[in-house]
């Protein structure tokens, strides 16, 4: 066989090998894509999201080796719940979607947020988060403390200054409640003192003043006459119920006191979800921490607001109140479950199961306006917004294909180079 024919035959053999390898890897990639479809990849082809929000019947545990994306990295839309895994030492706060089983973290690290410092909007479109430095004793001289307003639909963050305060005992601000129209946020800040540690505490608890933040203007008003504040809740009409010692004061967002009601013995105002949708009842629960004591009979109780004329329901056995489905139905939390309790016939139905053992979800909040219209959906596999496994496999396969292609090309070049050199040396020898 002539040298040219041998060279052509060798090149064809090398090219045929490259084609066989390419076809094999294409088949492999197709199989991987078919067998392991990605939720994130499929999102653009999904049908339009439902108008009615929903609560999953099961909250997923912590992710294993697959990390959960942040809201900023991959926004997932409005959320129905805000919670933190109790065993998470970094205090990482997470939201779960109101339209699908999407889970997103609020920060890259738990060190950039203050534990217990999160508050979800009633409509589930945003979260307020205290920055970690909000726990410092003295606000920075430059711009004071700020709160982060995280838009869950876009991932954008707006930082809003809080009112200044000074304390020498290290007490921190507390986010209390968010108005249903989304405009106002009630929070509490350490009260001014006479410079002594004793002046900053009452009955072992820090003395806190009421402050109201107007999110539209970014301006806070502080009401030092309303203290010591323990908890607060907004009524549907925009009024505030603020716990001051053993009473709930009904006040306006401008600090005008309209009435007072005494709370049941051993009970505190039940947080941001305390006010019933019809504005006639306030819910109370045991002070934080007491419900975890062995043998303690934890319960949710009710009182009517000043001027209301409605029969007061009997207490409900539960640890916490999470929200109202209607004026006669409440959502409560006990152990690792969320129950729907009928205040009329006392019927109890478990609507959502929380993670157990090392994955418990603590500091659970629900978007109070959403849960009044929410359906209960069967939980699907969590969409955590991270790079899906099949894409990692496909990327690795692509690297291998490129590598094989490069090696095959190099082998082809070397073979051609050797044949060329052999042909030249043979021609030179014949010429000589």
362-394 pLDDT, tens digit each: 789 999 999 999 999 999 988 988 755 545 555
pLDDT of residue 84: 83
Quote the CA–CA distance of 38 and 15 in Å, as a whole number.
34
Q: Please state the rounded mean pLDDT for residues 276-297.
A: 78
Shortest CA distance to 212 belongs to which of 236, 177, 244?
A: 177
Tokens of residue 218, six digits: 């970014």
pLDDT of residue 45: 36
Average pLDDT, the chain: 78
pTM to 2 decimal places:
0.76
Task: Out of 125-139, 181-195, 243-257, 270-284, pick the least confident.
Answer: 125-139
Going by DSSP bridges, is the β-strand pair 54-56/375-377 parallel, antiparallel, or unpaired? parallel
Strand partners, 284: 269, 301
Residue 138 reports pLDDT greater than 50: no
> Which positions ≥6 away from 41 have C-beta within 8 Å?
388, 391
Number of Cβ atoms within 10 Å of the Cβ of 165: 22
148-164 pLDDT, tens digit each:
999 999 999 999 999 88
Shortest CA distance to 191 belongs to which of 166, 161, 221, 217?
A: 166
- Of the CA atoms within 13 Å of residue 423, those in its CB half-sphere come to 13
CA quadruple 221, 83, 85, 319: dihedral sign: positive
Helix 3-35 / helix 389-431 crossing angle, nearest 10 deg: 180
- How far, in whole angstroms, is CA 206 from its chain's centroid? 28
| Exposure class string for 232-265: b at 16+ Cβ within 10 A, else e | bbbbbeebbbbbbeeebbbbebebeeeeebebee
Give the single-character DSSP code of 408. H
pLDDT of residue 35: 40
Helix (H, G, I), strand (E, B) or coil at 281: strand
pLDDT of residue 424: 55
Q: What H or E segment, with its residue span, contains residue 25?
A: helix 3-35
Residue-level length of the chain? 432
Residue 288 reports pLDDT greater than 60: yes
Task: Out of 69-78, 205-214, 414-423, pick the least confident.
Answer: 414-423
pLDDT of residue 139: 43
Contact 84, 96 (CB under 8 A): no
Q: Please state the rounded mean pLDDT for residues 13-28.
A: 54
pLDDT of residue 308: 82
Is 1 exposed, middle or buried (CB count within 10 Å of its CB: 0-12, 13-18, 19+)? exposed
List phi, psi (to 5°) of 381: -60, 135
- Return the percentage of the chain with pLDDT > 90, whole number: 47
Strand partners, 120: 127
Number of Cβ atoms within 10 Å of the Cβ of 75: 18
289-303 pLDDT, tens digit each:
565 554 557 899 999
């Amino acid at each position: 066989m002539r040298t040219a024919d041998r060279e052509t035959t060798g090149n064809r053999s090398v090219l045929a090998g490259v084609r066989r390898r390419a076809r094999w890897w294409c088949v492999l990639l197709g199989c991987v894509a078919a067998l392991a479809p990605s939720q994130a990849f499929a999102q653009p082809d999904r049908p339009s999201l439902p108008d009615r929000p929903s609560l999953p019947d099961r909250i997923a545990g912590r992710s294993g080796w697959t990390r959960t994306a942040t809201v900023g990295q991959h926004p997932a839309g409005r959320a129905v719940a805000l919670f933190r895994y109790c065993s998470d030492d970094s205090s990482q706060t997470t939201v779960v979607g109101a339209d699908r089983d999407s889970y997103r973290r609020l920060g890259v690290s738990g060190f950039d947020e203050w534990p217990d410092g999160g508050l979800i909007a009633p409509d589930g479109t945003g979260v307020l988060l205290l920055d970690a430095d909000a726990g410092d004793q003295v606000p920075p001289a430059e711009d004071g403390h700020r709160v982060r307003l995280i838009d869950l639909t876009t991932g954008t963050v707006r930082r809003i200054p809080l009112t200044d305060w000074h304390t020498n005992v290290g007490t921190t601000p507390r986010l209390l409640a968010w108005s249903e129209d989304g405009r106002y946020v009630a929070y509490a800040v350490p009260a001014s003192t006479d410079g002594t540690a004793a002046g900053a505490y009452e009955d072992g608890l820090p003395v806190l003043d009421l402050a109201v933040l107007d999110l539209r203007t970014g301006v806070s008003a502080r009401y030092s006459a309303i203290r010591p504040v323990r908890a607060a809740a907004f009524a549907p009409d925009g009024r505030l119920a603020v716990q001051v010692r053993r009473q709930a004061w009904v006040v306006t967002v401008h600090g005008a006191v309209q009435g007072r009601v005494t709370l049941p013995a051993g009970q505190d105002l039940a947080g941001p979800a305390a006010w019933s949708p019809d504005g006639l009842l306030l819910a109370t629960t045991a002070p934080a921490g007491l419900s975890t004591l062995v043998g303690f009979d934890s319960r949710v109780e009710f009182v009517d607001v000043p001027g209301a004329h409605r029969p007061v329901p009997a207490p409900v056995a539960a640890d916490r109140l999470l929200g109202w489905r209607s004026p006669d139905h409440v959502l409560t939390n006990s152990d690792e479950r969320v129950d729907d309790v009928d205040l009329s016939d006392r019927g109890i139905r478990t609507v959502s199961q929380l993670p157990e053992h090392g994955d418990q979800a603590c500091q659970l909040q629900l978007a109070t306006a959403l849960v009044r219209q929410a359906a209960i959906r069967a939980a699907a596999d969590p969409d955590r917004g991270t790079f899906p496994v099949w894409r990692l496999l496909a990327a690795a396969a692509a690297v291998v294909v490129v590598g094989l292609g490069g090696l095959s090309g190099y082998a082809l070049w070397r073979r051609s180079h050797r044949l060329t050199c052999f042909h030249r040396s043979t021609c030179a020898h014949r010429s000589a």
